[in-house]
Chain A
């Protein structure tokens, strides 16, 4: 997985009733766009580190959805 600053990450809910979470990549900590990412979550406005799993999608700025 690769991401850049400003990309959007989307994670599906892991449990029934848990909403999808969206966030903006603030920092890319890995080499060449690899994880972990510092993500500011849309719901809370807070930032945490994210080690994304296979259910995490990255919306690159101006591009189609990739996984």
Chain B
């Protein structure tokens, strides 16, 4: 399982000079909770709906403030061929919930922790179904296998 297999959503980007209000409107229009902030098409950060609330509204930052004043800088990303284990490691050690996926240094998608949890939950259901079947229809008292004649 590769990180890029989760990346079902196209990244939504916003210019670093855009306003916080622009960012909020773009999130609403695109139905996303995070935007990749770019400067001349180069990623420089990420801003989330939570950033707008906690770093903006809660501190009386005007809606026409630049979005890069609220964004998280130092964007941690993974190559598209990175494995799930690397993705989990980034979530754990960098304390972030979204990881941009990059192909040839271009952001091709964003994987959120939610995406991974949904995938894990679906896999757990499949495993649970197998276990439930074994509990409901036990294969007890089976005769031992008969060795094949020499």
Tell me if B76 and A50 are in contact (CB < 8 A).
yes
Q: Would A44 and B74 count as touching, CB distance under 8 A?
A: no
Establish whether residues A46 and B89, one from each chain, have CB atoms under 8 Å apart when the complex forms. yes
Is A63 part of the contact surface with B, judged by Cβ < 8 Å?
no
The answer to whether A51 and B93 have CB atoms under 8 Å apart is no
Interface residues of A in 8-26 (CB under 8 A from B): 11, 14-15, 18, 21
Indicate the member of A43, A44, A55 with the most B CB atoms within 10 Å.
A44
Chain B interface size, under 10 / 10 to 19 / 20 to 34 / 35 or more: 20 to 34
Question: Residue of B at shortest CB range from A48?
Answer: B76
CB contacts (< 8 Å) of A50 on chain B: these are 74-77
Whether a CB of chain A sits under 8 angstroms from the CB of B44 is yes
Q: Complex formed: what's the CA distance from A62 to B76 in Å?
A: 26
**Docked-complex contact A51 and B43, CB < 8 angstroms:** yes
Using a CB–CB cutoff of 8 Å, the interface residues on chain B facing chain A are: 42-45, 72-79, 86, 89-90, 93-95, 102, 105
Residues of B close to A41: CB separation below 8 A: 93
A55, B74: Cα distance in complex, Å? 8
Interface residue from B73, B76, B89, B90 paired with A55 (Cβ < 8 Å) = B73
Across the interface, B44 reaches (CB within 8 A) one of A15, A18, A53, namely A53
In the assembly, what is the distance between CA of A51 and CA of B99, in Å?
Answer: 12
Which partner residue on chain B sits nearest A30 by CB separation? B105
Bound-state CA distance A51–B77 (Å) is 8
Q: Which of B72, B78, B105 contacts A29 (CB 8 A)?
A: B105
**Does A35 sit at the interface, judged by CB under 8 A?**
yes
Residues of A near B89 (CB, < 8 A) are 44, 46
Query: Could you list 19 A-B pairs, sorted by A, with CB under 8 Å?
Result: A18-B95, A29-B105, A35-B42, A36-B43, A41-B93, A43-B93, A46-B86, A46-B93, A48-B77, A49-B78, A50-B75, A50-B77, A51-B42, A51-B43, A51-B75, A52-B73, A53-B45, A55-B74, A56-B74
